[in-house]
Chains A and B, each alone.
Chain A
Amino acid sequence: MPTGQQEKSSFGHIERQVVLPFGKSIEIAFKSIRVRFVRSMITTLSLVLAVAFLCYTNVNIDVVNGLLATGDADVRQQVTRSGYDVQPTGDQVENTPKQRWIVFLSLLVCVVGIVNAQLMSVTERFREIGTMKCLGALDRFIMRLFLLEAGMQGLVGAGLGALLGALFAITSGVVQYGIPAIVSVDWGDMLGSMGLATGVGCLLSLAGVLYPAMVAARMQPVEAMRVEE
């Protein structure tokens, strides 16, 4: 994605462009994650947990709906007894507002955690960022690197979280209602829930890095000259 602005005023003859090709950005971002693996993992861990929780609640609903769809009266009784609010006429259940609120809160906490971790990572990398700027990096290169890193972390973390959540939900379904839980579940619905959770996780990861990345991008290159560690 070369975003060169050719021929602008003063310098003339030499081709005027400063670029960072997209492929190269991905490479740098990936290496950066690999080198700081432990830090990246800690950043990602809160995301994994929050997404796992989101996915767990949604897949739980899918499992119960799958059970209800079998039309078995016994199962229906069981579901009602375990606390789901099944309408006498319908065969669908939903998350209660309270549940939604808790999930929302957990996601919020997760974003705050990500912002915190990413801000620290920016501080840690002040010199690296300053050096890159001395070498001619534009603000948007730095921004792009941080966003890409967060995107990758988000994808892996949220994917893992969704998988964990779904597994846990199905296991608990089997424990609670027996084998029918896994047989009758609508796999499409479940995949949808997992996809949704992964998507939300990615978005959260990107939202969390936005402010830290801005701080990094606005940093003055003269910081790289500072001697103190």
Chain B
Amino acid sequence: MTVNSSIVRVSKVTKTFRLGKIEVQALKGVDLEIDSGKYISIMGPSGSGKSTLFNMIGGLDKPTSGKVFIDEVDIAQLDAYELAWLRCRKIGYIFQTFNIIQVMTALENVTLPMIFAGIPNETAVEKGIELMNLVGLGDRFNHKPFELSGGQQQRVAIARALANDPAIILADEPTGNLDLTTGEEIISLLKRLSDERGVTIISATHDFKMLNVSDQVIWIRDGRVDKIEDREELSISIGTIGTR
């Protein structure tokens, strides 16, 4: 994977929602470039358009105007089939509520994206076990989701997100439903994966613990990019972050 090429490019994106008769502009022209292999945090108060931007980057939502490029492909041009393919192969999703499919075991959850990708069952199971070991759940792959703790479920979700070796992992408040220690474990796991596998990790978060591991922090305010801070600048201003 080439370093410093942009994997996600957002250009003049606006998004307008209609709430009854009122039109609400959630994004008011966002320009953004995200480099491949980085660990990015998108920060912003709720209502800032953070989630909207996040969904655009994930190809889950289409902009009202402007363009979103993932891997230099304009997602507005893709049909349903191509979008599904994109979600299956290029992007891994991690949710605040884990979203483990309850009717399947942990391992089946991890192998499902590989099944969608057309990988034969045995290969998928083999790789699934490997991934479960990677996230530290090697002994629990036959457990049902309700037998796992929140942190463990999130680990399963991370393994699932990695199943098809995606270029991007999108994490929406991955630590939002976890206690402090577990949250830290999940963050360091994500950081390790980003370092070891060169996956671009984009997370929307309120969690200041995330900032310490981020290569870049994008602050969103009122539908616009407020500022983009790199790691170096961040460590200088880190004393003030807590009080923000």
Interface of A with B (CB < 8 Å)?
A: 2, 4-5, 8-11, 14-21, 24, 28, 31-32, 35-36, 127-128, 130-139, 141, 220-222, 224-225, 227
- In the complex, whether B89 has a CB less than 8 A from a CB of chain A is yes
Contacts of B101 in A (CB 8 A): 128, 131-132
In the complex, per-residue mask of B189-206: 1 if CB is within 8 Å of any chain A CB, else 0: 000000000000000000
- Taken together as a complex, chains A and B put the C-alpha atoms of A221 and B73 apart, in Å, by 20
Closest to A35 in B: B103
Contacts of A227 in B (CB 8 A): 96-97, 176
- Taken together as a complex, chains A and B put the C-alpha atoms of A16 and B89 apart, in Å, by 9
Closest to A27 in B: B108
In the complex, per-residue mask of B49-89: 1 if CB is within 8 Å of any chain A CB, else 0: 00100010000110000000000010001101110110111
- Taken together as a complex, chains A and B put the C-alpha atoms of A4 and B119 apart, in Å, by 12
A21 nearest CB across to chain B (Å): 7
B198 nearest CB across to chain A (Å): 17
Contacts of A35 in B (CB 8 A): 102-103
Q: Is the CB of B103 within 8 A of A31?
A: yes
Q: What are 19 A-B interface contacts by the 8 Å CB criterion?
A: A10-B73, A11-B73, A18-B84, A18-B116, A20-B116, A28-B103, A31-B103, A36-B103, A127-B97, A128-B99, A128-B103, A132-B101, A133-B87, A136-B87, A136-B164, A141-B116, A220-B60, A225-B95, A225-B172
B97 nearest CB across to chain A (Å): 6
Q: A5-B81, A16-B85, A134-B99 are in contact. List 7 more A-B contacts (CB 8 A).
A: A11-B85, A18-B117, A128-B99, A137-B84, A137-B116, A220-B60, A225-B51
Q: Is the CB of B81 within 8 A of A134?
A: no
Q: Is the CB of B55 within 8 A of A135?
A: no
Within B159-195, the residues touching A (CB, 8 Å) are 160, 164, 172, 176
Contacts of A220 in B (CB 8 A): 60
- Taken together as a complex, chains A and B put the C-alpha atoms of A132 and B93 apart, in Å, by 11
Contacts of A36 in B (CB 8 A): 103
Contacts of A135 in B (CB 8 A): 87-88, 93, 112-113, 116, 160
Q: Is the CB of A31 within 8 A of B104?
A: yes
- In the complex, whether B228 has a CB less than 8 A from a CB of chain A is no
- Taken together as a complex, chains A and B put the C-alpha atoms of A132 and B82 apart, in Å, by 15
A216 nearest CB across to chain B (Å): 14
Query: Which residue of the partner chain, among B81, B121, B164, contacts A138 with CB atoms under 8 Å?
Result: B81
Q: Is the CB of B103 within 8 A of A32?
A: yes
Closest to B163 in A: A135
Query: Which residue of the partner chain, among B99, B116, B172, contacts A131 with CB atoms under 8 Å?
Result: B99
Contacts of B95 in A (CB 8 A): 131, 224-225
A4 nearest CB across to chain B (Å): 6
Contacts of A32 in B (CB 8 A): 103
- Taken together as a complex, chains A and B put the C-alpha atoms of A227 and B46 apart, in Å, by 13
Contacts of A9 in B (CB 8 A): 82
- In the complex, whether B115 has a CB less than 8 A from a CB of chain A is yes
- Taken together as a complex, chains A and B put the C-alpha atoms of A2 and B89 apart, in Å, by 17
